[in-house]
Amino acid sequence: MTVLAGYASEHGSTEEIAQRIAARLSERGHAVDVRPLAEASRADDYEAAVLGSAVHGGSWLTEASDYVQANTAPLGRMPVWLFSVGLARVVGGWFEKHSQEPKEVTELRRTTHLREHRLLKGALSPEHLPLFGRVVYRIMGGHYGDFRDWAEVDDWAEAIASELSAAGASGTASV
């Protein structure tokens, strides 16, 4: 199946996750187009989509929101997997409890054949936050580093590849 692995990434960690997922899907024989969502062609060109964004202030980045809004109809006709990359699972506590699902994902749950949304652990450097953000983050007990869990990403990509193969074998993109 032809799959869009689309991403919105400000500092590169989400892009690398999308590339890793795309590599695993390719290894399993799927034709994957890995692209920034700001440059991706319309979703009509694909049979399935794995879309992800960095989370900023509890929401997806604008280019990811814009893409899913502009492509609601075609995305509604194919299997879709979503991932949000942030620090919620690293910081934990209240922040994690209230950061399970950006609103863009909730909306896509309503309008698409959403297979799964994964909240993945990302990366953060102090210089990525404004001074006020660093103060708030410190008060929340947050820390800096690269917390991406590549084993989790690989396992998830494998599961997606298997579902895509099953969907392809059944001859329908909308399962």
54 binds ligand FMN, rule: CB under 6 A: yes
CA pair distance 162, 130, nearest whole angstrom: 42
When asked if residue 4 is in the footprint of ligand FMN (CB under 6 A), the reply is no
Q: What is Dmax (Cα atoms) for the chain?
A: 53
> Is residue 105 close enough to count as binding ligand FMN by CB under 6 A?
no
Task: Indicate the DSSP class of residue 2.
Answer: E
| CA–CA distances in Å: residue 141 to residues 54, 59, 91, 126 | 20, 21, 7, 13
Minimal distance, residue 37 CB to ligand FMN, in Å: 12
- The DSSP H or E segment spanning 10 is none
The interface with ligand FMN within residues 133-152 (CB under 6 A) comprises 133
Which residue in 2, 19, 26, 99 binds ligand FMN (CB under 6 A)? 99
Interface contacts to ligand FMN, rule CB under 6 A: 9-15, 54-58, 85-88, 99, 122-124, 128-129, 133
